[in-house]
Amino acid sequence: MRWQLPYWMYNIYCAVGMFAFGAACSQLTTDVMKYTIGRLRPHFYTVCLPNVNCSLPQNQHVYHTNFECTNPSYIFNKRVMKELRLSFPSGHSSFSMYTMVYFAIYLQKRMTWDGSKLLRHTLQFLAVLSSVFTAMTRVSDYKHHWSDVLAGLSLGTIVACIVGRCFSNLFARNRQTEAPEHSELTNHNGHSDLNTAIRV
């Protein structure tokens, strides 16, 4: 006797699996951009303390490439030194915005019973607001520039919209309801019934 997977379990698998797929895509894109660009974080000078005297006229308005970090607290911490060059885009911003926008899209398509409109929009607003708050803390903590946070928020939003609209089955119900309407307007010869009636 063959064992069949319950329908509710299949739905959970699809929802969680698609969410995880989108999260992996968002994080992978963020990491590729981080390690490719290598932008310095705002607190780079405080943590690194490079051996460059910026008060000298010859060292001002110059892009320094040859320097050494002298901060004894972090000079031997390779992880901290590597993180100092991974500012763009913000990983916290991209991941938090992806999760909350995807959650908002999920609520929009699944929370459809009568009287749920105000509650649904309230939850969506709070979800996105929590993501924006997370992004703003990265600026206030001097871990990212404002442009890093903006890029992370945009990246997370774009990935969430693409995964929710193109890859997930959240909009499958709309496609199924649109198909019969289109099929009723066509006859077996592939022509529109309306056009056939006009010809006759």
Read out DSSP for 56-84? SGGGTT----S--B--TTTTT-HHHHHHT
Task: State the catalytic residue, choosing from 92, 121, 182, 191.
Answer: 92
Q: Give pLDDT tens digits for 69-110.
A: 888 888 888 888 899 999 999 999 999 999 999 999 999 988
Active site residue 144: yes
Contact 124, 104 (CB under 8 A): yes
The pair of three-digit structure tokens given for residue 142, joined into one six-digit string: 């001097």
Task: State the catalytic residue, choosing from 64, 121, 144, 182.
Answer: 144
Average the pLDDT over 147-169 and give the result: 93
Q: Give pLDDT tens digits for 23-52.
A: 999 999 999 999 999 999 999 988 998 888
Which whole-number Å values give the CA distances from 122 to 32, 114, 165, in the listed order? 34, 15, 22
| pLDDT at residue 166 is higher than 50 | yes
Which whole-number Å values give the CA distances from 32 to 11, 18, 150, in the listed order? 32, 21, 17
Active site residue 188: no
DSSP 113: S
Q: What is the pTM of this model?
A: 0.77
Contact 63, 57 (CB under 8 A): no
